Structure 1
Amino acid sequence: METKSHKQLHIFFFPYMVQGHFIPLINIARLFASRGVKSTLIATPLNAPLFSKAIQSSKKLGIDVDILVIKFPTEEVGLPQGCENANLVTTLEMNEKFIKATLLLQPQIEQILDKHRPHCLVADTFFPWATDVAAKFGIPRIIFHGMGFFALCASRSVALYEPHAKLSSDSEVFTIPNFPVEIKLTRSQMPNVPKQSAEITNLIKEARESGEKSYGSIVNSFYELEPAFADHYRTVFGRKAWHIGPVSSVNKAADDEASLDRHECLNWLSSKKPNSVVYICFGSMTNFIDSQLQEIAAGLEASGQEFIWVVKREKNDKEEWLPEGFEERMEGKGLIIRGWAPQVPILEHQAIGAFVTHCGWNSILEGASAGVPMITWPVSAEQFYNEKLVTVVLKTGVAVGAKQWGTFLDVMTEASVKREAIEKAVNQVMVSEEAEGMRGRARVLREMAKRAVEEGGSSFTDLTSLIQELGSLGA
């Protein structure tokens, strides 16, 4: 669809260098391109191949996205060569250097905007300087947060009113103030400032301030999933925002074809009954210690349910994170995938009956779009908010009982969630009396997600109005 301006609309997309942020933004760039917008992604040398792999599949469908490569200043900040992705950061000190490196990207982005003069810059929230850089060239900067409206509103209310500041203990409960529904949390489930370095605390503060000055936000969500919070964000907080998701549905045919070719787990799933398998995956950043993985294994075995479990471990002779003889006993009943798994095709498979998730926003959205009930196990970032959306608002899942927020770099000394809690939550979603109700509500969400991105749907319409608005600014 062409914009009103005579010149084709050109947008630059600048994702933060971490899987959970750049995958949705790549999809957003493809989505704009599918609507006739010239889309260019900015990538660093090591991440560019990951970008082009995703984009290749859309080329077959006639959707073209350009990639522009910039240098990532690893040497300048003392990071090892090739450390261009936050997934590779293993210590707090490395994380501070990584953030410093992202601040040093500003001059390169200025040169690019000066040379290409696009109509708009869509940049991740973790590049707070991007708002001023865009303003220098008279173009709007739109923010990509990587989270949904519920968490955007919750984190904003908590930052404004600090309801957890006056509590006497970490386990004391507070209610989020000035919020569309009653949500209760404890201080131990909140992002912990002492645990975060000054760099991170400062980055979050600057991101919030730069957000105030930006043109608005693109949100990977759909209106029907969180209507009260989309309205709250726009009216009570007065922020411009467009929901254009779920963006994982963009060019799915091409992606599915690519991933189905290479994963035997989908054949395994096809031999199972509908809604009979639990899928367990904690995203690309979460690392559990051996004793926690053992509790998961024991809880799964005790539940008696069939499962697919994605674990970030290499196969080796002595696997101390698994109970003795576990894989032999689970033969045919459980499948362990080490490393990467095609999450969207797995979730959409009719055999999947539940999803054990760390509550990262991409996973929540993919689970909702696939119509799968969830077992929530938040770890970090805004995940404890996302858990409340699933368990309290949507009522499509149960909490496993995680109590402690941590950074992705925290080293746990013991398992925080025990096997009994895991077994109970799994059976609650799979076979309890309330399971059918959760499944029914989840299926309704799946239909809403599908409709939202179709012509005339809420996300399709929001995207149209954003493209028209940017077109009239550029005219």
Structure 2
Amino acid sequence: MESITIHPTMPNNKDHKLHIAMLPWLAFGHMIPYLELAKLIAGKGHRISFISTPRNIDRLPPLPPNLSTLITFVKLPLPQNANLPEGAEATSDLPEDEVAHLKIAYDSLHQPITQFLTSSKPDWILFDFAPYWLPEIAQNLGIPTAFYSIMLAAVLSFAGPTSPEVPPDDRKLPEDYTVQPKWVPFPATVAWRLFEVLRLDKRITGDEKNASDKYRFIETLRGCDLIAVRSCAEFEQEWLSLLEVLHGKPVLPVGLLPPTPQDDNENVMWPSIKDWLDRQGKNTVVYVAFGTEAMPNQEEVTEIALGLEKSGLPFFWVLRTKQGSDAVKLPEGFEERNEGRGVVCRSWAPQLKILTHDSVGVFLSHSGWSSVVEVLTFGKPLVLLPMSNDQGLNARLFGEKKVGYELPRDERDGSFTSEVVAESLRMVIEKEEGKAYREKSKELKPLFGDRNRQDLYVDKFLDYLTVLTTNQRRRSI
């Protein structure tokens, strides 16, 4: 591990600086929010040890030069697993039904992580849901832990309680997960649709070889010393307060982590994209993207494409698909028929820049929290098409708050039609009944886009960690 010194230009308004280890799950939708928080913490003069596998670390965005001495990337090779293809170190490297093998390999990092923590002795560990075994290691070493959730407090609340003061979770049937949990004391629609539960069945139940995601979450929530959430009181105070009751421990929001502005010169594609956007009317363009890992299947791609066509609206679609025989195809003649009115981009696109453009009127999204933070930073409304994981729960909350309209689907199989796609987009972007979504998104723009306000959450979080660390050191003297 390289030596780390505090950069002389870093703010140093507090005498005590922390050394914090971070251990995110092996998904870029987790690693990137962890890295964003790491940069904010390092920007205040604290040291970070960011732990992941070699290939994942090599694929992360480069650090700003002023933080390079404060953030050390710790590369722990993933133990060999016969069920994992060579080079598969992140969920994006695998089909969804093979991610369980990655979790099994990840659990094998138990020993090297113990060795690293023993030698480095960080003041705190911020860790993700997957290494549910970490609190026991940390406790044996006398290191306090914080579960840093990149998911909303509402999603964590749905996972269930660990406090003996709250009645235990007795859900067993898929239908039990489609209604409001009994421990939520206020009206809420945050629950899964039946098709979402059926798709996530193995994640909920697990098997003899692999701990379920539900078990990992509950044991993580039970074992950590405090819970840190990528959220803020202004957005979901009632859910943050409920989390404290459910787990009987402190819950600290760390802010929304709004995206960092990008340099206009960093992407060679941007000038041509901007030229196309400049030629569209204000608030007329449908921007379509489903994050780094959510990939619609062939039937879904067909209905989305035909729905965009039927809407009559200009669109910019970032379409990521699998390679080879599993690759999905657009309807025959689709791109030719929509030439000029629509763009299909099959590579990475500068999402932040696109969302800032005045021509964009709605974002058709998978409901991933990072993407929603980005779009609300610029005050744009959403049409929501959740794909997997926590996205369905997110969509219910966003629907309650009128920042996104969830596209209607069949309850049992999740199917939808091109007519519904077209009607939903037109409603949110131009019709009277979509006005509530347009206005609410603009109303939240000052909250999501206020970097100073969100930065105060990080300050309060670090103050809390510092006080606890200082008190612990005094007791040990």
Question: Which range, TM-score by smaller chain?
Answer: 0.7 to 0.9
Q: Verify: 1:176 aligned to 2:181, yes or no.
A: yes
**Which amino acid is 1:89 matched to?**
L
When residues 210 and 325 of structure 1 are mapped into structure 2, their CA distance, relative to the original with a 3 A threshold, is closer
2:254 is matched with which residue: 214, 229, 244? 244
Q: Verify: 1:80 aligned to 2:85, yes or no.
A: yes
2:470 is matched with which residue: 465, 469, 472? 472
- Superimposed CA distance per residue, residues 158-181 of structure 1 (whole angstroms, 9 cap, x where no aligned partner): 9966586468x69x9633333232
- The alignment partner of 2:432 has SS state of coil
Q: Equivalent residues in 2 for 1:185-224 (5 A)?
A: 185=191, 186-190=193-197, 194-196=201-203, 197-198=206-207, 199=209, 201-224=211-234
Q: What is the alpha-carbon distance in structure 1 between the residues aligned to residue 238 and residue 465 of structure 2?
A: 24
- The alignment partner of 1:27 has SS state of helix
**Residue of structure 1 equivalent to 2:8:** none
When residues 232 and 47 of structure 1 are mapped into structure 2, their CA distance, relative to the original with a 3 A threshold, is same
Q: What is the alpha-carbon distance in structure 1 between the residues aligned to residue 323 and residue 25 of structure 2?
A: 30
Is residue 277–residue 305 contact of structure 1 (8 Å, CA) maintained in 2? Answer: yes
Q: What is the alpha-carbon distance in structure 2 between the residues aligned to residue 334 and residue 87 of structure 1?
A: 27
Shift of 1:326: 1.7
- The alignment partner of 2:183 has SS state of coil
**Residue of structure 1 equivalent to 2:406:** 399
Q: Verify: 1:37 aligned to 2:41, yes or no.
A: no
1:377 is matched with which residue: 385, 396, 399? 385
Shift of 1:111: 1.3
Is residue 191–residue 381 contact of structure 1 (8 Å, CA) maintained in 2? Answer: no
**Which amino acid is 1:69 matched to?**
K
Is residue 143–residue 214 contact of structure 1 (8 Å, CA) maintained in 2? Answer: yes
Is residue 164–residue 187 contact of structure 1 (8 Å, CA) maintained in 2? Answer: no
When residues 237 and 402 of structure 1 are mapped into structure 2, their CA distance, relative to the original with a 3 A threshold, is farther
Shift of 1:330: 1.7
**Residue of structure 2 equivalent to 1:408:** none
When residues 202 and 464 of structure 1 are mapped into structure 2, their CA distance, relative to the original with a 3 A threshold, is closer
Q: What is the alpha-carbon distance in structure 2 between the residues aligned to residue 279 and residue 67 of structure 1?
A: 34
When residues 84 and 257 of structure 1 are mapped into structure 2, their CA distance, relative to the original with a 3 A threshold, is same
When residues 348 and 416 of structure 1 are mapped into structure 2, their CA distance, relative to the original with a 3 A threshold, is same
Shift of 1:96: 3.0
Q: Equivalent residues in 2 for 1:325-474 (5 A)?
A: 325-392=333-400, 394-403=401-410, 416-451=415-450, 453-454=451-452, 459-473=457-471
- Superimposed CA distance per residue, residues 320-362 of structure 1 (whole angstroms, 9 cap, x where no aligned partner): 7222222122222111111322223322322221111111222
Q: Verify: 1:272 aligned to 2:285, yes or no.
A: no
Q: What is the alpha-carbon distance in structure 1 between the residues aligned to residue 182 and residue 374 of structure 2?
A: 29
- The alignment partner of 1:372 has SS state of coil
Aligned residues: 452
Q: Which has the higher contact order (CA 8 A, sep 6+)?
A: 1
When residues 138 and 4 of structure 1 are mapped into structure 2, their CA distance, relative to the original with a 3 A threshold, is farther
**Residue of structure 2 equivalent to 1:125:** 129
Q: What is the alpha-carbon distance in structure 2 between the residues aligned to residue 106 and residue 384 of structure 1?
A: 31
Is residue 47–residue 84 contact of structure 1 (8 Å, CA) maintained in 2? Answer: yes
Q: What is the alpha-carbon distance in structure 2 between the residues aligned to residue 173 and residue 203 of structure 1?
A: 18
When residues 272 and 124 of structure 1 are mapped into structure 2, their CA distance, relative to the original with a 3 A threshold, is same
When residues 145 and 302 of structure 1 are mapped into structure 2, their CA distance, relative to the original with a 3 A threshold, is same
Q: What is the alpha-carbon distance in structure 2 between the residues aligned to residue 218 and residue 466 of structure 1?
A: 11
**Residue of structure 2 equivalent to 1:115:** 119
When residues 236 and 16 of structure 1 are mapped into structure 2, their CA distance, relative to the original with a 3 A threshold, is closer
TM-score of the superposed pair, with normalisation by structure 2:
0.85
**Residue of structure 2 equivalent to 1:310:** 318
Task: Please tell me the root mean square deviation across aligned C-alpha atoms, in Å.
Answer: 3.0
Q: What is the alpha-carbon distance in structure 2 between the residues aligned to residue 128 and residue 247 of structure 1?
A: 25
Is residue 30–residue 63 contact of structure 1 (8 Å, CA) maintained in 2? Answer: no
Unmatched 5+ residue regions in structure 1? 406-411
Shift of 1:459: 2.3
Shift of 1:12: 1.1
Shift of 1:89: 1.7
Q: What is the alpha-carbon distance in structure 1 between the residues aligned to residue 135 and residue 424 of structure 2?
A: 44
Aligned-residue sequence identity (percent) comes to 24
**Residue of structure 2 equivalent to 1:225:** 235
Is residue 163–residue 177 contact of structure 1 (8 Å, CA) maintained in 2? Answer: no
**Which amino acid is 2:217 matched to?**
A
**Which amino acid is 1:20 matched to?**
G
